[in-house]
Amino acid sequence: MVSRKVSRRRFVASTAAASTALVAAPFVRGAYAAGKLSLGLWDHWVPGANKATEDVIKAWADKEKVEVTLDFITSQGNKLLLTTAAEAQAKSGHDILAFSTWLPARYSEQLVSMNDVVEPLIKQNGAVNGTVEYLGKVGGKWLAVPATVGSQMKGPCSRIDLMKQLAGIDVQAMYPAGSPPKADAWTLDAFLKAAEACQKGGHAFGIGLGTTSDSVDTAGAIFHSFGAVLVDAKGDITVKNDKVRQALEYYKKLIAFLPEDAPAWDDASNNKWLVSGKGALIMNPPSAWAVAKRDAPKVAEQCWTHGFPSGPAGRFGPFLPFFWGTWSFSKNQSAAKSLLTAMSQPEAAEKMVIASGGYDLPSFEKLTTFKTWAEESPPKGTLYHYPNPHNHQTLSIAAAPAPHKIAEQIYTQGIQTQMAVRFAKGETMDKTLDWAAKEIEGFMRN
Amino acid sequence: MANATIASPTATTISGRRYGSVSRDRRWALRWSYFFLVLFAIFFLTPPVYMFITSLKTSAEISAESNPWWVYSPTLANYIELLTQNTYLTFFRNSAIVAVLTVIITMAISVIAAFALARMKFWGSATLATGVFLTYLVPETLLFIPLFKMFAWFNETFDIQLMNHWWTLIILYPTLTVPFCTWIMIGYFASIPKELDEAALIDGATWIQTLTKIFIPVALPGIIAATIFCFTVAWAQFLYPLAFTTSTTELVLPVGIVTTLIKGDVFNWGQIMTGALLGAAPPLIIYAFLMDYYIAGLTAGATKG
Amino acid sequence: MADIAARGPVAIAGGRSSLHKLMQRKSTIAFLMALPLILLILTLVAYPAGYAVYLAMLNKGMTKFVGFGNFDFLFGRETFWMVVYQSCLFAITAVIFKAIIGFVVAHFVHNIPSKGQRKWRGMLLVPWVIPPAMSTLAWLWLFDPSYSAFNWILAGFGIDRIPWTGETGWARFSVILVNVWIGAPFFMIMYLAALKSVPEQLYEAASIDGATWWQRIWYVTLPMMRNIIAITALFSLIVTFANFDIVRVLTKGDPLNTTHVFATWAFRVGIESGDIPLGASVSLFMVPILAVAATFILRDITKRGSEV
């Protein structure tokens, strides 16, 4: 064991690019019992973004004299999900682990309560949005700390030029950088018209209809915009109601203007659609724009990230938070909590946001107006509206407000997108609703 | 059967010579053969060729709307970047150690067991032989969660952590390779004439001597075939390393490439293709050198099983 | 093991009179020699498999024993039957095509002068040697909705872009195509070896009898290769049935779950949606199907084997 650690340290010393780093103090005499802490964090796709987190953690580790091991784990191929499942089943693993959207609730019984961390943070940094609270707090217990790193919005990212030429919409005027949106006309109907115009002009909107999260998030927001709820908060199935029917009718019209292979798109497909210059709009956090900035600068210059169109029930934007949590079998919970508090300080959050080029979104209200978002370019201000600075839209997650264990399955199995595709492909409304009701019935298992 | 297969290279040479000198009929057949072989080669080689093309491109060119089958500004940057990156070299090293040790362990277990099952017959040996085959039917997707639980118990009882270590794979991979290798070896040993070992035993050789002095040399093609099979499986395995290892220092090649070069919704295509090509090189080299044994060994073992 | 080896000669030294004793010892030695295999299978396959069976009989929260409740539940699901259908379609179609392509290619390779055979064999074996997780990524990139290099070629011929993974029919075609691509070379190699072991005299006799090339294949080659065809198909069927990577990487089961096979759907249900017992039940379901197939094919082989 000892020799392994030495070789590891040497390995780290020899490479600056190594994503596993041992941020260690040679003498362990900290205030914390074991003096050791291991973290499994989400591997950021932005080159160098892990570094900011590493720095924050290293500063804390030096101060507290704790030996910290860091693993950055990709979410690709469900690696992070598998790691989480493995640690939950094997009852051993990282002291702090990044939990994606639904996982805190899934493992609620195995996670340490974070009330003593999150409640002071809310006092300090402002309230969290409803989605974060729904996902992170169950039965009055905060299961995990809302993370800055990896939390994201999936609103529209439009091509300024194409939207103007083909659809006659000036997204910059609608969502001016540095000031509140003037987007009253930006409704689902306007969105549909724009989708049609762009498709006819050869630049269809790139909205996936698969079962991965980008597709599901968009469907979730559109369903919310119609007030369409599949399962209510009490756990009753409410599939067969007019709002769901309206949402499906709308989706059917929209699907006619989407690329025909959209039902199999994954989370990378829409990015490529935008970067290749084929699409006029996608629903994605700014990663697609950032890749375009690197590989297709001409496309990037025309990208504008903005708010979601509004529907009869309001304006909803998909928000996908990450959390940092600690297993109940972790041997060093007090140190973990101290570190999590340090990682959630405004300065730490700002460092992370800057390093991620504005991609990461802190969940706390007072942390949505960092300079980065206003300054990122090209074009300048393209990310200004990304963190929803004017509370213009309700941040939402698909399948809410159903009880978590049901909602999670509706989400991961993409029931909403599947309903939309089924109906759009010519299945009758009743059949689609029956199918969905039956699927969801299957999720009620305990 | 085994004899026929081993002797086959000679047989082909003879027949090959004869084919070459016969009528126009044959010459047309030959032309058609080449024609179709070229077609199939195109089908089989398109993806690797495309991988190679992509590996020579910059990310800007990959994103561009240009001819995907042509490299306008070739670059070795992807290769240089991967080969100078310690993480990638670590994956390569882990993969190599895991594959080699898996091969050694597998061959030790399966050759000895196959000999016992094929030649020595003990109570329940027939059942065991069938049982070995049946384990091949159990998919690994079924096993990894129970294995998590077992590892948890192991950790609590012996305080040895099996999760997130590359050497855990050396314990796990034999479950995938041993059944098939044992099965192949049983078949191969069964094809060796009984007189051979009876004579040896009468001459006073022990069972172990019979195995090492007679069976192993005679069954060498089969052993090489099983070794290659085993190496291929260990090199390509995906699900177990994905489920059991996490840290970049512990990952093996295929999982390492997929988890470090694809981040969130951003694919690093140039490097992925480069990594995949470099990762395919070791098995390719092994096949290039040992293919004849592989063919001879596999068929002899499988037909007799 | 050294211990046994050391004791061996002593037994022999006893001479023929102690042959009986030797036989007794033989079974003990044999058992010890098979012991590592037995231990490996018991601890790392049989026990976890048994545990998985137990898991499959728990409720979702893994707190209550429900017996066959999960299976009962599955049988009532439309998606489950679709997965059964698609798994069978996927595995059977893929194995048939692998067998046909493997046979045809092996035949052509066998036809050409032996000098060139090594080269062709080597080239044609490439797909099988690249780790599937990697080569499937190459296919994913070839099928990409925005950047498909295939569609680029088709566009050159004025053909519309094909939704390779986007439409049920095409998506099923694509996953099978990739599986065939990966697996066909293995069939080719096995068949090639079998072809070489068919005695030349048989063909000569057939030619003298005036058999056409088709009759030669049908009456000479195929019967001689029967065993190897069956055994290769069996192993391939097992592996194809349990396939995870290809579908997972290419389509993730989309569109509308129509490309899910057992392993990927089990993953979706068990790991992604957090219903581990149900996932275990789905995975478990492929074992009996495979066992039935294995019994038939193996029995057929032994029967044929004793006839020949």
Q: Tell me which chain A residues have a C-beta less than 8 angstroms from the C-beta of B260.
A: 19, 43, 74
Mutate which of A108, A215, A261, A427 to test chain C, going by most C C-beta atoms within 10 A?
Answer: A261
pLDDT beyond 50 at B1: no
pLDDT at C17: 53
Question: What ranges in chain B are assigned the alpha helix state H?
Answer: 2-6, 8-21, 24-55, 59-63, 77-83, 86-115, 125-135, 140-158, 168-172, 174-190, 194-202, 207-209, 216-218, 220-236, 239-244, 253-261, 269-304
Q: Which two tokens stand for residue C205?
A: 């006799």
Q: Is residue C60 part of a domain?
A: no
Give the span between the Cα atoms of B228 and B232, in whole angstroms. Answer: 6
Q: Tell me which chain A residues have a C-beta less than 8 angstroms from the C-beta of B247.
A: 20, 71
Give the span between the Cα atoms of C75 and B162, in whole angstroms. Answer: 37
B175 lies within 8 A of chain A by CB: no
Residue contact C59–A442, C-beta within 8 A: no
For A287, which of B90, B152, B265 is closest by C-beta distance? B265
Closest residue in B to A7 (Cα–Cα): B249
Nearest to B227 by CA among B116, B124, B104, B120: B104
pLDDT beyond 70 at C18: no
pLDDT at B159: 82
Residue owning tokens 């094997």 = A90
Give the span between the Cα atoms of A41 and A98, in whole angstroms. Answer: 5
Question: What ranges in A296-365 are assigned the alpha helix state H?
Answer: 297-300, 333-343, 346-355
Distance from CA of A217 to the nearest CA of C (A): 16
Q: How many CB pairs under 8 A join B and C?
A: 313
C25-48 pLDDT, tens digit each:
777 888 888 899 999 989 999 999
For C108, which of B36, B47, B136 is closest by C-beta distance? B36
Residue contact C108–B37, C-beta within 8 A: yes
Residue contact A20–B161, C-beta within 8 A: no
Are residues C195 and C93 part of one domain? yes
Q: Which residues of chain A are modeled with pLDDT < 50?
A: 1-31, 33-34
Q: Tell me which chain C residues have a C-beta less than 8 angstroms from the C-beta of A412.
A: 268, 272-273
**Contact (Cβ atoms closer than 8 angstroms) between residue B259 and residue B251:** yes
Mutate which of A9, A20, A100, A275 to test chain B, going by most B C-beta atoms within 10 A?
Answer: A20
Q: Which two tokens stand for residue A158?
A: 């439009």
Interface of C with A (CB under 8 A): 59-61, 73, 77-79, 144-147, 163-167, 171, 248-249, 251-257, 267-268, 271-276, 278
Q: Which two tokens stand for residue B209?
A: 């001597």
Nearest to A443 by CA among A134, A230, A225: A230
Q: Is residue C81 part of a domain?
A: yes
B268 lies within 8 A of chain A by CB: no
Helix A404-412 × helix A213-225 angle, to 10°? 120
Residue owning tokens 């600056």 = A16
Q: Tell me which chain C residues have a C-beta less than 8 angstroms from the C-beta of A435.
A: 78
Residue contact B265–A79, C-beta within 8 A: no
Backbone CA torsion sign across C297, C298, C301, C306:
negative
C75-101 pLDDT, tens digit each:
888 889 999 999 999 999 999 999 999
A362 lies within 8 A of chain B by CB: no
DSSP string, C274-292: S-HHHHHHHHHHHHHHHHH
C245-256 average pLDDT score: 85
B114-148 pLDDT, tens digit each:
888 888 777 777 788 878 878 888 888 888 888 88
Are residues C162 and C226 part of one domain? yes
The model carries a pTM of 0.84
Q: Is residue C36 part of a domain?
A: yes
**Domain extent for C37:** 2-55
What residue ranges of chain A are covered by domains with CATH 3.40.190.10? 2-151+320-364, 153-319+377-442
pLDDT at A123: 92
Distance from CA of C168 to the nearest CA of B (A): 23
For C8, which of B45, B145, B208 is closest by C-beta distance? B208
Are residues C164 and C258 part of one domain? yes
Q: Tell me which chain B residues have a C-beta less than 8 angstroms from the C-beta of C139.
A: 47
Are residues C301 and C153 part of one domain? yes
> Domain limits of chain B?
2-14+77-304
Are residues C284 and C236 part of one domain? yes
Are residues C163 and C16 part of one domain? no
A403 lies within 8 A of chain B by CB: no
Mean pLDDT for all residues in chain B? 81
Q: Tell me which chain A residues have a C-beta less than 8 angstroms from the C-beta of C255.
A: 209-210, 263-264, 421
C196-214 pLDDT, tens digit each:
777 778 888 887 887 777 8
Q: Tell me which chain B residues have a C-beta less than 8 angstroms from the C-beta of C117.
A: 12
pLDDT at B299: 62
Residue A10 burial (CB count, 10 A): 10
C147-183 pLDDT, tens digit each:
888 988 888 888 888 888 888 899 999 999 999 999 9
- Give the class (CATH, top level) of A2-151+320-364: alpha beta
Are residues C216 and C83 part of one domain? yes
Backbone CA torsion sign across A336, A338, A343, A344:
positive
Residue contact A87–B65, C-beta within 8 A: no
Residue contact A262–C257, C-beta within 8 A: no
Q: What is the CATH number of the domain that holds C220?
A: 1.10.3720.10
pLDDT at C302: 65
Higher pLDDT, A146 or C301: A146
How many domains does one find in chain C? 2
Q: Tell me which chain A residues have a C-beta less than 8 angstroms from the C-beta of C267.
A: 78
Closest residue in C to B36 (Cα–Cα): C108
Residues 6+ apart with CB under 8 A from C83: C257, C260, C261, C262, C265, C282
A282 lies within 8 A of chain B by CB: no
Give the span between the Cα atoms of A38 and A56, in whole angstroms. Answer: 15
Q: Which two tokens stand for residue A193?
A: 């018209």
Torsion over CA of C165, C170, C171 and C172, rounded to 10 degrees? Answer: -170
**H or E element in which residue A59 lies:** helix A49-64
pLDDT at A10: 38
Q: Which two tokens stand for residue C224?
A: 């001689």
Lowest mean pLDDT among B289-298, C2-11, C238-247, C287-296: C2-11
Sorting pLDDT into bands at 50, 70 and 90, what band is B214? Answer: confident
B230-283 pLDDT, tens digit each:
998 899 888 889 888 888 888 898 888 888 887 767 788 888 899 888 888 888
Q: What's the helix, strand, coil split of chain A in %, to 5? A: 45, 15, 40
pLDDT at A331: 86
Characterize the bridge pairing of strands A316-325 and A145-153. Answer: antiparallel
Pick the CATH number of A153-319+377-442 from 2.40.50.140, 3.40.50.150, 3.40.190.10, 2.40.50.180: 3.40.190.10
Are residues C171 and C37 part of one domain? no
pLDDT at B298: 65
Are residues C110 and C17 part of one domain? no
Distance from CA of C248 to the nearest CA of B (A): 11
Q: Tell me which chain B residues have a C-beta less than 8 angstroms from the C-beta of A284.
A: 265
Q: CA separation (Å) from A181 to A158, A176, A280, C158, C170? A: 15, 6, 20, 44, 43
Q: Tell me which chain A residues have a C-beta less than 8 angstroms from the C-beta of C166.
A: 259-265
B146-159 pLDDT, tens digit each:
888 888 888 888 88
Q: Tell me which chain C residues have a C-beta less than 8 angstroms from the C-beta of B51.
A: 135, 138
Give the span between the Cα atoms of B136 and B138, in whole angstroms. Answer: 6
Give the span between the Cα atoms of A75 and A83, in whole angstroms. Answer: 10
pLDDT at C303: 62
Residue A35 burial (CB count, 10 A): 17
Q: Is residue C192 part of a domain?
A: yes
- Topology of domain B2-14+77-304 in CATH is MetI-like fold (1.10.3720)
- DSSP code of residue C146: T
All chains having 3 or more CB pairs closer than 8 angstroms to chain C: A, B
